[in-house]
């Protein structure tokens, strides 16, 4: 099963790279006016902590906005395109070392992939105002889930490595929704962890499920963002290359970090970014009203 998954993932990765590299070369003389070293640092740090389960979408969106490295409208596409390669590396690592029942793993990955394919076509056409609103609400929800997890207000999980019957159907449906929301820049990790815990599965099973889901859905969704030109090419390239290095260092060399403290910092940053997104959305709406008047 693992061999088949890796083979399919390899084919998807190759297709994604063809679109991404061809598009980057086509626009190499007209890249965004942002900083390679800032983007590389963001890519390295966010992917480093992504391996440890903190997540890269909320932190990546926050960093891009705080350091003014991307237009708000293309942040969802930038996150999906830029983090596709690093997440595929994570999936290869965790699917191989942590056991999950085949039907549960494949069912949840497939549903997330389908959700992402449908969602990306819609999100790629979002206006800046709509992206700000959606991401503001999404980041707030992510922050709440992370806060609940830190305060032990969500189920701590059980010891199951698979699901069946109604629980499996429920998990597949929810992961379909999470896959669709992922294309709007809403990280899948936190809600997927909550889902796994809620259904009584082992907490460690969350890693191959969430990394696997993202590894399959992100390249597929990214192709739509690339076709629409709805992403920051320079940021995506920095995240794909230096970010991948962050994944490898975290996965193979890091044995212990003050994750609890880091998670609290991330929660604060996520809420700050959510508020700034919603404020920007409100200002843009006010400007639109003034123009009409």
Counting residues of the chain whose pLDDT is more than 90, the rounded percentage is 44
The pLDDT confidence band at residue 292, using thresholds 50, 70 and 90, is low
Residue 279 scores a pLDDT above 70: yes
112-133 pLDDT, tens digit per residue, is: 999 988 888 888 778 878 878 8
Contact 117, 180 (CB under 8 A): no
The pTM for the full model equals: 0.82
| Arithmetic mean of pLDDT, 48-59 | 85
What gap in Å lies between CA 179 and CA 184, rounded to an integer?
9
Q: How confident is the model at residue 82 (pLDDT cuts 50, 70, 90)?
A: very high
> What percent of the chain stands above pLDDT 70?
94
- What is the full DSSP assignment across the chain? -HHHHHHHHHHHHHHHHHHHHHHHHHTTTS--SS-HHHHHHHHHHHHHHHHTTS-SHHHHHHHHHHTT-S-GGGHHHHHHHHHHHHHHHHHHHHHHHS---HHHHHHHHHHHHHHHHHHHHHHTT--HHHHHHHHHHHHHHHHHHHHHHHTT-S----SBS---HHHHHHHHHHHHHHHHHHTTT--SHHHHHHHHHHTTB-GGGHHHHHHHHHHHHHHHHHHHHHHHT-S-HHHHHHHHHHHHHHHHHHHHH-----HHHHHHHHHHHHHHHHHHHHHHHHHHHHHHHHHH-
Which class for 151: exposed (0-12), middle (13-18), buried (19 or more C-beta within 10 A)?
Answer: exposed
């Amino acid at each position: 099963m693992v061999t088949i998954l890796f083979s399919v993932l390899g084919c998807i990765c190759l297709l994604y790279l063809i679109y991404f590299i061809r598009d980057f070369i086509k626009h190499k003389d007209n890249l965004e006016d942002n900083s390679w070293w800032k983007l590389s640092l963001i890519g390295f740090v966010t992917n480093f902590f992504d391996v440890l389960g903190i997540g890269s979408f909320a932190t990546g969106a926050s960093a891009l906005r705080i350091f003014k490295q991307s237009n708000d409208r293309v942040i969802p596409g930038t996150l999906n395109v830029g983090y596709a390669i690093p997440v595929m590396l994570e999936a290869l690592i965790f699917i191989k070392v942590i056991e999950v029942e085949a039907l549960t793993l494949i069912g949840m990955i497939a549903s997330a992939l389908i959700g992402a394919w449908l969602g990306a076509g819609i999100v790629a056409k979002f206006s800046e105002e709509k992206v700000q609103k959606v991401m503001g609400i999404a980041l707030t929800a992510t922050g709440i889930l992370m806060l609940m997890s830190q305060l032990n207000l969500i189920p701590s999980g059980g010891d199951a490595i698979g699901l069946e019957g109604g629980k499996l159907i429920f998990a597949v449906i929810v992961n379909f929704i999470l896959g669709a929301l992922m294309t709007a820049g809403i990280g899948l990790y936190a809600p997927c962890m909550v889902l796994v815990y809620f259904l009584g599965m082992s907490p460690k099973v969350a890693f191959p499920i969430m990394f696997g889901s993202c590894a399959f859905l992100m390249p597929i969704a990214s192709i739509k963002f690339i076709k629409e030109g709805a992403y920051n090419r320079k940021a995506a390239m920095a995240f794909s290359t230096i970010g991948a290095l962050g994944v490898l260092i975290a996965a193979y060399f890091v044995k212990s970090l003050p994750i609890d403290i880091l998670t609290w910092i991330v929660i604060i940053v996520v809420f700050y970014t959510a508020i700034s997104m919603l404020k920007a959305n409100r200002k843009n709406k006010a400007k639109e009203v003034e123009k009409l008047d």
